Structure 1
Amino acid sequence: MPHELKHVFASLPQMERGVAKVIGGDPKGNNFLYTNGKCVVIRNIDNPAIADIYTEHAHTVTVAKYAPSGFYIASGDASGKIRIWDTTQKEHILKYEYTPMSGKVKDIAWTEDSKRIAVVGDGREKFGAVFLWDSGSSVGEVSGHSKLINSVDLRQKRPYRLVTGSDDTCGSFYEGPPFKFKFTLRDHSQFVNCVRFSPDGNHFVTAGADGQIFLYDGKDGNRVSSLGGEKAHKGGIYAVSWSPDSSQLISASGDKTVKLWDVGAGTAVTTFNMGADVTDQQLGCLWQNEHLLTISLSGYINYLDKNNPDRPIRSVKGHSKSIQCLTVHKKDGRPYIYSGSHDGHINYWDAETGENDCFSGKGHSNQVSQMVTDSANELVTCSMDDTLRYTNLNKTEYSASDVVKMDFQPKSVSVAAGGLSLAVCIGQIVLLKDKKKVFTMDNLDYEAEVGALHPGGSTAAVGGGDGKIRLYSIQSNTLKDEGTTVEATGAITAMAYSNDGAYLAVIDEKKVTTVFTVADGYSGKEEFYGHHAKPVTLAWSPDNEHFATGGMDMMVFIWTVGDPDKRIKVPDTHRLHHVSGLAWVDDHTLVTTSHDASIKQWTITY
């Protein structure tokens, strides 16, 4: 194979304020899973850098749960569809697909023999269903609620019991199979966010937005006690998870704490303080073997330390929103990948191990549109918050002073030797030197889309919406229009000079890639065809002979200069998501990213 997947750096869970996040655990104890957009992300619990992504849902996936056998996963999406798929093979073959409800799925539970599934959520005619996994035929009905159901759980031993929690502030208790409504639990005064049976089946708890946790008998549904007396938490509780021995549980709350409870005594043994920021609200949790995991509103996955409640063992970071751009830079000989996302967040990753973190301090407040690294070891980024930022890569924190405010929104940024930067804004082109604006061109007679500086700093190429590339010469910190233009076939979407400055590659809306030879005055040109939708990103390999393009057709092509027929096609790099960024780690390693908020590395062999 000319291309092979080398690493997957997965996205974080997609979070929403005030909405609980269900994390699923693997019965064998190796993996945990969650959802982001149309993806189900499976990660190794001991080394979260090892990940697998399932992308077969056509709609936003909301919840995924392992079957107790460990061989299948059931995942549900916003359209009410449930997919049951294989976990043992790489291909994740679909076993069954059902649509038990007409609205968003909020929670899924399996019986311990992996034969029955309960599904709840929002629907037009009903808020839940219980059915056989292999035929989809109903084994009871989930009735008794007047609003959408947030949570469901099944007792993991016979006689089976089913319990639900809903936005109508009630829980419901069912016996079965076939499951029949028995009675309503009216102890909460606010939305019920989570219901969970203990692994031994003796008890179940309900947790609500009123900050209370109630404990009930698992067999007859009678109330036993409430944890923590009056209130368990100061804020709403979004999730609870039992310890494997059923004696303790953890609860995650909007008051930015997680509490570890001794269920028998009804008291909190430990309180974990997760921070003071809004993004530190805790919306999900999972207790698996020795690991205590919680998920913050920021999407960060925290591994809690029972011995040190104020400092997690580790926090897994990354992106939870779509990534717009990325670049690679070597630091002390090790390659690092930098990525910028739709919410202004910039992350850096060790390309070999996947260890990652974000810059500290206050950064961009809106989408990061493009990023490049310059010779002074700085990351230059342009953003929809109308700024250019220069961030020192040795410090990994934002600098408050190195921000250049633009008059208009910058769309593209490019750098060259001698401290030059070129920003192409809406209706304006700005040349900067040493982080200061030195020259501005206004009143353009065309729509400037994207700019590229020749690595030597002698020429600035600006691609327009009219399919022309204007070549300005740079003389004593000004851009001079000498009337030189070259033509592509359509509106320019991206362009870049090769690292040695020998070629200029251009991609346009007409799906054509054009390479101009710089030495003969840009007259020699080659055209490359292959994309069947608009390409949006382009990156030169360090060998200056190959370059990669990617775009809306979800394909990545690797082209060879001088031989348009010789191409490597990497299909489905990010299934169901178009490619938004490309970069090279070395001659044979390509990095791709997309709106699924994950980053992948591919080994390319020519």
Structure 2
Amino acid sequence: MPYELAKVFACLPQVERGVSKVLGGDPKGINFLYTNNKSVIIRNIDRPEIADIYTEHAHQVHVAQYAPSGYYIASGDASGKIRIWDTTQKEHLLKYEYQPFAGAVKDICWSGDSQKVAAVGRGKEIFGAVFHWDTGTSVGSITGHSKVINSIAFKPNRPFHVVTGSDDYTCVFFEALPVKFKCTINNHTKFVNCLRYSPDGSKFASAGADGQIFIYNGKDGNQICALGGSSAHNGGVYAVSWNADSTHLISASGDKTVKLWDVEANSAVTTFTMGSDVMDQQLGCLWQNNHLLSVSLSGYINYLDKANPSKPLRIIKGHSKSIQALTVHTSDGRCSIYSGSHDGHMNVWNATTGENDTFAGKGHTNQVSCIVASDSNEIVTCSMDDTVRFTCLCSNEYKPENAVKMDNQPKNVAVGPGGYVVVICIEQIVLLKDKKKVFTIENLDYEPECVAIHPGGVTVAVGGNDSKVHLYSIQGATLQKHSVLSPSHLGPVSVLSYSPDGGNLAVSSTNKVTTIFTVADDYKEAESYYGHHAKVLCLAWSPDNQHFATGGMDGLVFVWTLKDTHKIFKLQECHRLYHISGIAWLDEHTLVTTSHDASVKQWTITYN
């Protein structure tokens, strides 16, 4: 195989304010689950840098849960589809797919014998269903609610029972099997967000938007106590999770805390204070083995520390929204990956370990459109917030004085030696020198789309929507146009890049073709490369100048060999269901790709 997936730096959970985020635990204690857009993320709980991504849903996935046997996962999406798939094979083969009701699935649980699946959500008339996992045959009906059901829990041992919680402020207790309505529980005064049975089946807990957590007898549904008396939290409670011996549980709340409760003593043993910002609201939690996890509104996954409740052991950061821009920096003996997302979030990754952090300080407030690394140890970014920012690699901290405001929205940026930066804006080309605007070209007869500066620092290539490449020269504090390239096979230019040695210019277009121009030969058109089925979105040269890679809207990545159009490496479904938004080389054998799945992947390329 000429290529191999080496590493996956997974996305964070996709969260929504005021909505519970379900985390699924592996019964074997190895992995945990969550969802983001159309993906189910499987992460190793001890080493979260080890991740796997399931991307077979056609719609946004809201929940995924392991079967108690550990052999299967059931995941449910916004269309009401529930897919049951294998965990033991790398391909995650689909076993069955069902649609028990028409509407978003909000929660899923399995019976203790791994034979039945229960699902609830936003149906039109039916809000939930319980069925055999291998036949889809119904084993009773979920009734008694008048609004969307947010949560469901199965008593893990016999005699089986089922309990549900809804936006109608009630919980309903069912006998099983078959599932049969027994009684309605009216303790909560607002939405019921989460219900969970204890592992021994003796109790279950309900958590609501009213800040209350109630504990019930698992066999008959009678109330045992209300944790904390009149209120467990000062804000809505979105999730609860029991420990293995059913004596304690943790709760996640919008009051920006997670609490650890001694259920028998009805007391909060520990209160984990997660911060004061609105993004520190806690929407999900999981207690697995010795790990206590919570999910913030920011999407960050917190590993809580009982010995130090004010500071998590570790915080898993990353992206929760689609990644739009990518670059790498490999000098100083470090290999770092920089990625920017749709929400303006910038992240830096250690390419070896997967450890990552966000940029500090107040930065971009809208989509990061382009990222490049300069030879002065700075990351230069442009954003839809109409700014270009210069960020020092040694600190990864935004500084207000290092932001340059553009008159028009910037789309692309290129850096050259000597402090020169060229920014492509809507209907403008702007030259910066030492972080200051020194020259602007307006009233163009074409719309500029992308830019590259020759490594020599003199020539600037600008790709336009007129299917041409416009060449300018940097002369002091001005840009002077000197020639235009009109390739024979080119459409509107989408991306272009000079090879590291400056010998060639690669130009890709919306008509799926990449053309190479030989710089020393007065930009003579050399070869054209075909293979993509849709628009080419990103392009990067390998450090050895012998190969370049392209990523397209078709989700394909091609690695091309210079002067040999037939020597092609085709990477299919790198980010399944998504187009490739960024591509870069760490070295001539390691390729990095990003996509709208908010994940970063590394690929090992082996040349024959």
One fold, TM greater than 0.5? yes
How far apart in 1 are the matches of 2:224 and 2:498? 71
Structure 1 residue 418 and structure 2 residue 457: aligned?
no
- Report the Cα offset of residue 266 of structure 1: 1.1
How far apart in 1 are the matches of 2:482 and 2:81? 60
Bigger mean CA offset, 300-309 vs 331-340: 331-340
Of all paired residues, the percent bearing the same amino acid is: 66
How far apart in 2 are the matches of 1:386 and 1:317? 26
User: What's the counterpart of residue 118 of structure 1?
Assistant: 118
- Deviation track 1:479-525 (CA, whole Å, cap 9, x = no partner) reads 11224333351001111111111111011011000110100111232
Counterpart residue type for residue 577 of structure 1: Y
How far apart in 1 are the matches of 2:332 and 2:303? 30
Q: Secondary structure at the match of 2:421?
A: strand
User: What's the counterpart of residue 105 of structure 1?
Assistant: 105
Instruction: Spell out the pairing of 1:216-365 with structure 2 (5 A cutoff).
Output: 216-365=216-365
User: What's the counterpart of residue 524 of structure 2?
Assistant: 523
**Count of residues in Structure 1 that have an aligned counterpart in Structure 2:** 606
How far apart in 2 are the matches of 1:429 and 1:483? 16
How far apart in 2 are the matches of 1:122 and 1:526? 55
- Deviation track 1:115-171 (CA, whole Å, cap 9, x = no partner) reads 011100011120000001110000010000000000000000111110000000000
- Deviation track 1:209-268 (CA, whole Å, cap 9, x = no partner) reads 000011111101111110001100000000000111100000000000000111011111
Q: Secondary structure at the match of 1:140?
A: strand
Counterpart residue type for residue 211 of structure 2: G
Counterpart residue type for residue 281 of structure 1: Q
Counterpart residue type for residue 538 of structure 1: L
**Does structure 1 retain, via aligned residues, the 8 Å contact 2:391–2:397?**
yes
Q: Secondary structure at the match of 1:334?
A: coil
Bigger mean CA offset, 479-488 vs 188-197: 479-488
User: What's the counterpart of residue 552 of structure 1?
Assistant: 553
- Report the Cα offset of residue 399 of structure 1: 1.4
Structure 1 unaligned segments of length 5 or more: list them. none
User: What's the counterpart of residue 562 of structure 2?
Assistant: 561
**Does structure 1 retain, via aligned residues, the 8 Å contact 2:515–2:525?**
no
User: What's the counterpart of residue 533 of structure 1?
Assistant: 534
**Does structure 2 retain, via aligned residues, the 8 Å contact 1:415–1:455?**
no
Counterpart residue type for residue 409 of structure 2: Q
Counterpart residue type for residue 339 of structure 2: S
How far apart in 2 are the matches of 1:325 and 1:293? 30
How far apart in 2 are the matches of 1:424 and 1:382? 10
How far apart in 2 are the matches of 1:572 and 1:205? 42
Bigger mean CA offset, 66-75 vs 562-571: 562-571
How far apart in 2 are the matches of 1:229 and 1:239? 18
Q: Secondary structure at the match of 1:401?
A: helix
Counterpart residue type for residue 486 of structure 1: S
How far apart in 2 are the matches of 1:439 and 1:500? 27
- Report the Cα offset of residue 400 of structure 1: 1.6
Structure 1 residue 77 and structure 2 residue 77: aligned?
yes
Q: Secondary structure at the match of 2:523?
A: coil
Counterpart residue type for residue 5 of structure 2: L
How far apart in 2 are the matches of 1:322 and 1:433? 31
Counterpart residue type for residue 133 of structure 2: W
User: What's the counterpart of residue 191 of structure 1?
Assistant: 191
Calculate the aligned-residue CA RMSD, in Å.
0.8
How far apart in 1 are the matches of 2:106 and 2:561? 48
User: What's the counterpart of residue 601 of structure 1?
Assistant: 602
Counterpart residue type for residue 605 of structure 1: T
What TM-score results when the alignment is normalised by the length of structure 2?
0.99
Q: Secondary structure at the match of 2:299?
A: coil
User: What's the counterpart of residue 374 of structure 1?
Assistant: 374
Q: Secondary structure at the match of 2:400?
A: coil
Structure 1 residue 592 and structure 2 residue 593: aligned?
yes
How far apart in 1 are the matches of 2:574 and 2:77? 22
User: What's the counterpart of residue 5 of structure 2?
Assistant: 5
What TM-score results when the alignment is normalised by the length of structure 1?
0.99
Counterpart residue type for residue 586 of structure 1: D
- Report the Cα offset of residue 594 of structure 1: 0.2
Q: Secondary structure at the match of 1:18?
A: coil
- Report the Cα offset of residue 602 of structure 1: 0.4
User: What's the counterpart of residue 399 of structure 1?
Assistant: 399
How far apart in 2 are the matches of 1:341 and 1:135? 42
How far apart in 1 are the matches of 2:483 and 2:356? 46
- Report the Cα offset of residue 190 of structure 1: 0.2
User: What's the counterpart of residue 440 of structure 1?
Assistant: 440
How far apart in 2 are the matches of 1:156 and 1:463? 62
How far apart in 2 are the matches of 1:50 and 1:494? 32
- Report the Cα offset of residue 331 of structure 1: 4.7
How far apart in 2 are the matches of 1:28 and 1:83? 21
Q: Secondary structure at the match of 1:524?
A: strand
Counterpart residue type for residue 360 of structure 1: A
Counterpart residue type for residue 262 of structure 1: D
User: What's the counterpart of residue 68 of structure 1?
Assistant: 68
**Does structure 2 retain, via aligned residues, the 8 Å contact 1:49–1:355?**
yes
How far apart in 2 are the matches of 1:404 and 1:351? 29
Structure 2 unaligned segments of length 5 or more: list them. none
User: What's the counterpart of residue 490 of structure 1?
Assistant: 491
- Deviation track 1:249-302 (CA, whole Å, cap 9, x = no partner) reads 000000000001110111111100000011100000000010000000000000
**Does structure 2 retain, via aligned residues, the 8 Å contact 1:486–1:522?**
no
How far apart in 2 are the matches of 1:54 and 1:147? 31
Q: Secondary structure at the match of 1:240?
A: strand
- Report the Cα offset of residue 567 of structure 1: 0.9
- Report the Cα offset of residue 475 of structure 1: 1.2
Q: Secondary structure at the match of 1:32?
A: strand
Bigger mean CA offset, 167-176 vs 328-337: 328-337
How far apart in 2 are the matches of 1:331 and 1:319? 25
